């Protein structure tokens, strides 16, 4: 009963801030691909992953979790996003024992080629362009005590649209804490705290006439359109994970995160994981609880750990945008 009361209090504390709504902040940041979670395991748990995880994909949710990875590991995740957009994430981790864990990661969004259209040529000018977003990160995490982990990531971000691009630097920090109530773990992280992004390139060049009322002056001066700078999507996560059941053959874990994004209203994610023999896993969750006009929410997935291989799959409902599939592969070495 004491554990139930504690969990109820924590969940209520998490949910109340998310129920407070105000003016929407959607569309007020750049590099929004950074808000698309990576790793089929975390996606299947409804993205409630800030306080649990033991593979490299946990770097995305909370870099302190990488301290839980016991071996060197390579990891790849592919997301079949909507509108023929591909998202790929790759990472490699080196376990140095008492010195902690180091990792490098790469995250990219790519589109198919699209036609360049104008008011004069609405069917296309014959030119093609693509959109690409990339993130390269270097991470470090270690255990300070048997209960307390810390971690951080420094990353470079770049967005490109045709001949225009923008770059930024950012960092993530996180920590995890195993409470005296041993099955209960807490985690928190701040992601994407960094510089602003401003699009620059030849596509912003225009021909400018300083005074169209005067004849004979130079009416073709090359000028540059001044684009606005935009903040990165800063995201604060706080969550808990509770092991409801742990035996030699079976395990059940529940998790809940509250998220405070700079580019949206607050909301809650929740998930549950069932494990059999420590090798086979079934997962389900719900994302963006208490968020007005949320698209979708239900998530499902499964995972298998065989020898040194970790294979995971997730399906995430995105409402009117249909469902999104995640495929992940991790290899210990």
**How long, in residues, is the chain?**
333
Tokens at 32, concatenated: 């929004």
Partners of 104 in the beta sheet? 92, 138
Least confident of 98-112, 147-161, 216-230: 216-230
Tokens at 3, concatenated: 């554990």
Between residues 7 and 203, which one has the greater pLDDT?
Answer: 203
Tokens 């800063």 appear where?
234
Q: Are the CB atoms for 131 and 160 separated by under 8 Å?
A: yes
Q: Are the CB atoms for 187 and 147 separated by under 8 Å?
A: no
Identify the pLDDT of residue 23. Answer: 53
Least confident of 64-73, 116-125, 272-281: 116-125
Identify the pLDDT of residue 18. Answer: 47
Tokens at 8, concatenated: 């109820």
What pTM was estimated for this model as a whole? 0.85
Q: Are the CB atoms for 185 and 174 separated by under 8 Å?
A: no
Residue 170 CB neighbours (<10 A): 22
Mean pLDDT over all residues of the chain?
88
Domains of the chain: 2-196+231-332 (2.40.160.60), 198-228 (no CATH)
Identify the pLDDT of residue 105. Answer: 96
Res. 244: pLDDT tops 80: yes
Q: What is the 3-state secondary structure (H, E, C) of 149-169?
A: EEEEEEEEEEEEECCEEEEEE
Give the mean pLDDT of 280-284. Answer: 97
Identify the pLDDT of residue 193. Answer: 95
User: Which segments of the chain does DSSP mark as H helices, in order?
Assistant: 2-19, 40-44, 58-61
Give the mean pLDDT of 76-104. Answer: 93
98-135 pLDDT, tens digit per residue, is: 899 999 999 999 998 888 888 888 888 888 988 999 99
Res. 74: pLDDT tops 70: yes
Identify the pLDDT of residue 25. Answer: 66
Tokens at 319, concatenated: 């409402």
Listed in sequence order, the residues at least 6 apart from 98 whose beta carbon sits closer than 8 Å to its beta carbon are none
- How far is 234 from 231, CA to CA, in rounded Å? 8
């Amino acid at each position: 009963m004491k554990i139930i009361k504690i969990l109820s209090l924590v969940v209520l504390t998490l949910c109340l801030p998310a129920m407070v709504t105000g003016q929407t902040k959607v569309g007020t940041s750049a590099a929004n691909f950074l808000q698309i979670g990576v790793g089929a395991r975390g996606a299947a748990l409804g993205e409630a992953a800030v306080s649990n995880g033991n593979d490299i994909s946990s770097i995305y949710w909370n870099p302190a979790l990488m301290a839980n990875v016991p071996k060197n590991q390579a990891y790849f995740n592919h997301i079949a996003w909507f509108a023929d957009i591909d998202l790929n994430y790759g990472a490699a981790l080196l376990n140095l024992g008492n010195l902690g864990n180091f990792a490098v990661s790469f995250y990219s969004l790519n589109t198919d080629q699209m036609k360049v259209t104008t008011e004069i040529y609405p069917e296309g000018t014959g030119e093609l362009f693509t959109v690409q977003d990339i993130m390269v990160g270097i991470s470090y995490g270690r255990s300070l005590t048997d209960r307390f982990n810390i971690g951080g990531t420094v990353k470079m971000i770049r967005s490109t649209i045709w001949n225009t691009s923008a770059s930024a630097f950012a960092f993530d920090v996180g920590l995890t804490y195993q409470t005296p109530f041993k099955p209960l773990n807490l985690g928190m992280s701040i992601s994407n705290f960094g510089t602003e992004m401003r699009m620059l390139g030849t596509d912003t060049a225009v021909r400018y006439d300083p005074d169209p009322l005067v004849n004979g002056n130079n009416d073709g001066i090359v000028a540059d359109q001044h684009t606005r700078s935009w903040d990165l999507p800063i995201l604060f996560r706080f969550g808990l994970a509770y092991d409801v059941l742990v035996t030699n053959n079976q395990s059940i874990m529940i998790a809940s995160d509250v998220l405070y994004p700079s580019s949206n209203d607050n909301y809650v994610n929740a998930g549950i994981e069932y494990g059999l023999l420590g090798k086979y896993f079934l997962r389900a969750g719900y994302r963006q609880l208490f968020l007005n006009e949320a698209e979708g929410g239900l998530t499902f997935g499964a995972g298998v750990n065989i020898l040194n291989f970790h294979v995971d799959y997730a399906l995430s409902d995105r409402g009117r945008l249909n469902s999104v599939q995640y495929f992940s592969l991790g290899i210990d070495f």
